[in-house]
Structure 1
Amino acid sequence: MGRSWRQWICILPEKRLDLLGVPLTLQAFTMAESPGCCSVWARCLHCLYSCHWRKCPRERMQTSKCDCIWFGLLFLTFLLSLGWLYIGLVLLNDLHNFNEFLFRRWGHWMDWSLAFLLVISLLVTYASLLLVLALLLRLCRQPLHLHSLHKVLLLLIMLLVAAGLVGLDIQWEQEWHSLRVSLQATAPFLHIGAAAGITLLAWPVADTFYRIHRRGPKILLLLLFFGVVLVIYLAPLCISSPCIMEPSDLPPKPGLVGHRGAPMLAPENTLMSLRKTAECGATVFETDVMVSSDGVPFLMHDEHLSRTTNVASVFPTRITAHSSDFSWAELKRLNAGSWFLERRPFWGAKPLAGPDQKEAENQTVPALEELLEEAAALNLSIMFDLRRPPQNHTYYDTFVIQTLETVLNARVPQTMVFWLPDEDRANVQRRAPGMRQIYGHQGGNRTERPQFLNLPYQDLPLLDIKALHKDNVSVNLFVVNKPWLFSLLWCAGVDSVTTNDCQLLQQMHYPIWLIVRALGLSPLLFFSHPWFSLILSLSSLLISPDILPLGPFPIFTDPSNLPNHMGHYQFCLHHAAFVDLPPPKVSALCLSFLGPYFLQGPGDEAASDSHMLPRAEGLFSSFEILRPFLILSNWLEHGKST
């Protein structure tokens, strides 16, 4: 009768090694101690992290609890800065609104895209470098004594990120809904990144686990690591993306609606912008309409004319006057294109060529009637927001009727007009039944079923696109500028999108990514992953402190079953030899990886043959993936390349 594995745990390590037939000593299996601060590489790392070049005193060779707390804050800062970088990349789709908001507050135009990305990138880079230095110091068995300057900078980064999150929540709350939408596009890739990150952290975690002597912290670390791994492997159950589909099920490409025309190619809300909209393949021109003091509807988005006209030079005393307080004769005197050449509204937009530049310089504020006639010639539909004038305005109560009369008097088909305003909609439908009524998120006449919806893209999770299509309802979402968002809405089956970047979206003939549902990974693969063996091995340390440590891993041994597995052990050694690590470390890796299967009893030969060889082959694949990290670890430990 062979002893049980619990009895063999208490056998001296030397005897267990002899039973295994491995010509290695206990010293070879233990983690090599660092040569200390005398190592050139370790000293360089310590200098960057702790800002000390001199040799460390013996009493400072240990990492204190305070140092561990600062390492935790460093890791938290890294996660916060990385999350803020993700938020910033998502916000780039809507950052033009932020630029306009600041212009209305400060009166000075600046595109904050580049500065925003630069600051976030610096924060992430700094936190990442410090974290990498800390991990490399751990591989070199060096203490983590963070310098006071780094501590101050880490606290400043945390405060800066916290202030940014609070400001986002106060001034731009809808962007949290944008982040929710973005996860439908990025969740599969974030999951892959999280899996890769936890894989790289497995070895430092195992090393830390082995070096902790108290059982309580060991249990806490094990539960924390196991919980993170479990969350990552169960995450696919919560991932829902419309772009996980068969290619044959891909809906038609959404149509394009020019937001104020083509504002990256021409001054917004001008006839030049209208023509550029037609050139880049859009079918609808979306604009904003106001009524002048003498009753002429004209195109203008802002309440003040200072951003998109030269009102400061023509009417210097009326810079802050409402746009509707100007007469049509006064509006015709303004230039509506020169500002576009002086301060480009969008970062990354190409400069205009000679003819386009000259045309932009001569743009004026167009009347709605001019726009309708030009749009009919270009076969473009028109959709507009109608902005109410100030309370003391002559047409404060009749601005809707005044605009409707202009549309009816224009010699254009009513079907080319999408009527968006909710004010007096019943009267508009009665007098112009040919107009297509489009409803916003604030609703409209609920007694009838709408045929067109115009909603912000943040409402995507609330929409059942397929059900709306069954009811013959078309859906347009605004404002969509980035390819990732356009691809997501394309997969979701949206009919059209309003965009500032029609020339870019026109060139897209397929979503930037599409995942076939059959290729999705099942969370059940977790139980066949090397991490599962690692967790079993880590948990075994809680059973007995006398278990033979193999690097950061223990090993279960039942000698009555050793003959069944030595062939697989030799197979592992043969295929792992190319890693160029010292033989003791390779042997330790093989034994600790295959260790949980030594728990099999003498009657498990069939199970051994069917499971151990794939396990050894899986280890060979793991060696191939981890080769650069293993070589780097060994190189840093010994101060030279093996």
Structure 2
Amino acid sequence: MAELPGCCRPCATCLLCLYSCRWISAKKEKRKGLRTTKCDCSWFLFLFCVFLFTLVWLYFAIVILNDFHNFNEFIFKQRKLWLDWSLVLLVPSSEVSLFFLQVLALSLQLCGEPLKLHWVHKVRVMAPWPWILGMGLWILGTGLGWRWLTLPLPPQATGPFLHIGLVGGMTFLAWPLATSLRLPTGLKVFLLLVYCAVMIALYLAPLMITSPCIMEENQLPPKPALVGHRGAPMQPATRMIRVCSFASADGVPFLMHDEKLTRTTNVQAVFPERASLNSTAFNWTDLQQLDAGSWFLERRPFSTVKSLSAGDRKQASKQKIPSLEQVLEAAKQSNISIMFDLRPENHTDYQSFVNATLDAILQSGIPLQQILWLPDGFREQVKQQVPGVQQVYGRKRLQNEKEPLLHVNLPYQDMSSEEIRQYRQDNISVNLYVVNQPWLFSVLWCAGVSSVTTNACQVLKEMKHPIWLLPSSTYLMIWIVADCVSFLTILWAFLLVKGGCGAPWCLVCTQTQRYQLLVPISGLRSWESSPVQLLSEGEVYGRGAFITRLQLKIWPDPSSSCWMP
């Protein structure tokens, strides 16, 4: 291994120590036998692949945080265990050490140092893999994975910035790739072809990137209205709430999300022998004996629980299951609309549930235009008995629709930006659920959605503008500049190595007033010295093989006798 001059030697030694856990001095005799083997190259390639996989995993883990509350509920129904699974999935994907090791490996490659990965680092690289693979297969097996992996919206939210980041990362790899051209011809050609194909694909990727947030400022649609999910706080910014309604065995409509009571009440303590029954099997007197508030403080399904005051916590711990009559009265006083679903639709007494719900609505005296009816069962009966109620459909419009739809309520995954724009042009109100993250809210805002159902009213109501908005001309300029800079950088890296310079020039002081310009040749394997003389204003002329004129900067300070380029 060739010796590096000046300050490069201590830096290379430190890098080798961190990567290989071996402190080796600069003396050649102590470095004999320390070479990069095929096994070391395999570990370097594996580390690089794991690093890329971790970035992709972390990207999707952050994206699907929007739906993790639903995922937590799903796991509770399957395993009867409540846990914030977002932390479980993010922990193995937050391997910051992988990024650190990858930077060390690339730095050692640039310095021409051996890639001897220590066994401790190998264990750290391998340790999360069984967990990540197991969790990934388990998520796919639950039936929810396809909803996340086929999600079309994240590229629309991050596409332009993800493109620039990928171009920058691949451009950075040009230097280690150029210095590794001493490989066998077949492998060298293969690597170059793959690299060129990837770079061409990245350069042309913006042709495939479509984002509703690429628009002019004056084209931005109005901010979507917020619909509080499951009776989210009735704040001034929330003019509508969405709830799920059931009917007790004695015909009293009440609010509950789950069909069973085990997750949100203490039914197992009060009625242990009936805990597995559906909530509709209990009469209203039994339901009023249950504690429906303590679980919220104990399990903390939302991060906002910790912000509650002592008084709010005391009030929450005393909550009972609310009746539909109580909710209608509160909505009437606050002038808030209610969109509710009536469950379960497959119940044998579902028609009696519908009748009891309609009676409660009419008796409450709430203006009928504040009621949005979502259930499909007995919809025609509802239209006849309460014609003033707004009808909301949980499906897209049909080609031969007899009656035009005015309101639709769908999962946000089920509608593309183009469909949202088309519905908006046709004066169809679109409500999408459940939208909790600002990035997702920004994309739907730019697409022109009418309203979103959310658990995060306190966050989204503070947004005055989408997270980002780019005019098409600005994005085109960014695209062209990024691609041109990347291409020129890659060209410079390969030409520099081909010319014999595998690293920047290094100028070191001699005992006289003259200087030595050390020019690396043959890819950092040897060095050639050329005498140069400092003339004026930091300009240097030399007779080296590759240097004719070089602009210098003083390092580390003007009083130093050493000069670095």
TM band (smaller chain): 0.7 to 0.9
Q: CA RMSD in A?
A: 3.7
What is the CA–CA distance in structure 1 between the aligned matches of 2:88 and 2:184, rounded to whole Å? 48
* 1:375 and 2:345 are equivalent in the alignment: no
Residue 58 (structure 1) shift: 6.0
- What are the within-5 Å matches in structure 2 for residues 528-607 of structure 1? 528-529=484-485, 531-532=487-488, 534-535=490-491, 538=494, 548-551=499-502
Name the structure 2 match of 1:422.
376
Deviations 1:503-526 (A, max 9, x none): 111111111111121112356557
Residue 306 (structure 1) shift: 2.2
Tell me the amino acid that sits aligned with residue 328 of structure 1.
W
Name the structure 2 match of 1:165.
136
* 1:204 and 2:176 are equivalent in the alignment: yes
What is the CA–CA distance in structure 2 between the aligned matches of 1:586 and 1:458, rounded to whole Å? 62
2:255 touches 2:323 (CA, 8 Å); kept in 1?
Answer: yes
Change (3 A) 1:140 1:401: same
What is the CA–CA distance in structure 1 between the aligned matches of 2:474 and 2:415, rounded to whole Å? 25
Change (3 A) 1:180 1:108: same
Residue 98 (structure 1) shift: 1.6
Q: Which of structures 1 and 2 has the larger relative contact order (alpha carbons within 8 angstroms, sep 6+)? A: 1
> What is the percent sequence identity of the aligned residues?
45
Deviations 1:276-303 (A, max 9, x none): 32x2411111001111111111100112
The match for 2:455 among 482, 488, 500 is 500
- What are the within-5 Å matches in structure 2 for residues 58-457 of structure 1? 60-121=33-94, 123=95, 125-171=96-142, 172-176=144-148, 179-209=151-181, 212=182, 214-262=184-232, 276-277=233-234, 279-388=235-344, 395-396=349-350, 398-441=352-395, 446-457=401-412
1:550 touches 1:589 (CA, 8 Å); kept in 2?
Answer: no
Tell me the amino acid that sits aligned with residue 508 of structure 1.
M
What is the CA–CA distance in structure 1 between the aligned matches of 2:3 and 2:389, rounded to whole Å? 81
Deviations 1:329-379 (A, max 9, x none): 111122222222233211254422244233323321111122112211111
Change (3 A) 1:407 1:584: farther
1:324 touches 1:390 (CA, 8 Å); kept in 2?
Answer: no
Change (3 A) 1:35 1:217: farther
What is the CA–CA distance in structure 2 between the aligned matches of 1:590 and 1:162, rounded to whole Å? 55
1:291 touches 1:297 (CA, 8 Å); kept in 2?
Answer: yes
Deviations 1:164-200 (A, max 9, x none): 3333333213433674211101111111211221232
Residue 65 (structure 1) shift: 2.6
What is the CA–CA distance in structure 2 between the aligned matches of 1:115 and 1:641, rounded to whole Å? 48
3-state SS in 2 of match to 1:286: strand
- In structure 1, stretches of 5+ residues that fail to align are 1-30, 263-275, 542-546, 554-572, 592-619, 632-639
Change (3 A) 1:442 1:291: farther
Tell me the amino acid that sits aligned with residue 345 of structure 1.
P
Tell me the amino acid that sits aligned with residue 428 of structure 1.
V
Name the structure 2 match of 1:13.
none
More moved, 70-79 vs 369-378: 369-378
What is the CA–CA distance in structure 2 between the aligned matches of 1:590 and 1:157, rounded to whole Å? 51
Residue 228 (structure 1) shift: 2.4
Tell me the amino acid that sits aligned with residue 184 of structure 1.
Q
Name the structure 2 match of 1:22.
none
What is the CA–CA distance in structure 1 between the aligned matches of 2:183 and 2:453, rounded to whole Å? 61
Residue 381 (structure 1) shift: 0.8
TM-score by length of 1: 0.73
Name the structure 2 match of 1:570.
none
2:417 touches 2:447 (CA, 8 Å); kept in 1?
Answer: no
What is the CA–CA distance in structure 1 between the aligned matches of 2:486 and 2:180, rounded to whole Å? 19
Change (3 A) 1:528 1:282: closer
Deviations 1:200-227 (A, max 9, x none): 2222222223xx1533333223222222
- In structure 2, stretches of 5+ residues that fail to align are 505-533, 557-562
1:280 touches 1:506 (CA, 8 Å); kept in 2?
Answer: no
Residue 497 (structure 1) shift: 0.5
2:227 touches 2:239 (CA, 8 Å); kept in 1?
Answer: yes
What is the CA–CA distance in structure 2 between the aligned matches of 1:156 and 1:474, rounded to whole Å? 49
What is the CA–CA distance in structure 2 between the aligned matches of 1:151 and 1:488, rounded to whole Å? 41
What is the CA–CA distance in structure 2 between the aligned matches of 1:307 and 1:137, rounded to whole Å? 54
Aligned residues: 523
1:280 touches 1:502 (CA, 8 Å); kept in 2?
Answer: no
TM-score by length of 2: 0.82
Residue 78 (structure 1) shift: 0.3
Residue 413 (structure 1) shift: 2.1
What is the CA–CA distance in structure 1 between the aligned matches of 2:544 and 2:267, rounded to whole Å? 76
Tell me the amino acid that sits aligned with residue 133 of structure 1.
L
What is the CA–CA distance in structure 1 between the aligned matches of 2:321 and 2:473, rounded to whole Å? 55
Name the structure 2 match of 1:602.
none
2:541 touches 2:548 (CA, 8 Å); kept in 1?
Answer: no
What is the CA–CA distance in structure 1 between the aligned matches of 2:75 and 2:542, rounded to whole Å? 64
3-state SS in 1 of match to 2:242: strand
What is the CA–CA distance in structure 1 between the aligned matches of 2:412 and 2:541, rounded to whole Å? 57
Residue 493 (structure 1) shift: 0.6
What is the CA–CA distance in structure 2 between the aligned matches of 1:590 and 1:93, rounded to whole Å? 57
What is the CA–CA distance in structure 1 between the aligned matches of 2:91 and 2:460, rounded to whole Å? 26
Change (3 A) 1:446 1:227: same
What is the CA–CA distance in structure 1 between the aligned matches of 2:128 and 2:340, rounded to whole Å? 43
3-state SS in 2 of match to 1:512: coil
What is the CA–CA distance in structure 2 between the aligned matches of 1:322 and 1:463, rounded to whole Å? 41
Residue 54 (structure 1) shift: 6.0
Change (3 A) 1:526 1:478: closer
What is the CA–CA distance in structure 1 between the aligned matches of 2:105 and 2:99, rounded to whole Å? 10
Change (3 A) 1:309 1:527: closer
Change (3 A) 1:508 1:460: same
What is the CA–CA distance in structure 1 between the aligned matches of 2:134 and 2:228, rounded to whole Å? 35
1:206 touches 1:552 (CA, 8 Å); kept in 2?
Answer: no
1:90 touches 1:178 (CA, 8 Å); kept in 2?
Answer: no
Change (3 A) 1:158 1:313: closer
2:110 touches 2:503 (CA, 8 Å); kept in 1?
Answer: no
1:181 touches 1:460 (CA, 8 Å); kept in 2?
Answer: no
The match for 2:464 among 509, 534, 542 is 509
What is the CA–CA distance in structure 2 between the aligned matches of 1:589 and 1:189, rounded to whole Å? 40
Change (3 A) 1:133 1:524: closer
1:388 touches 1:399 (CA, 8 Å); kept in 2?
Answer: no
What is the CA–CA distance in structure 2 between the aligned matches of 1:363 and 1:69, rounded to whole Å? 60
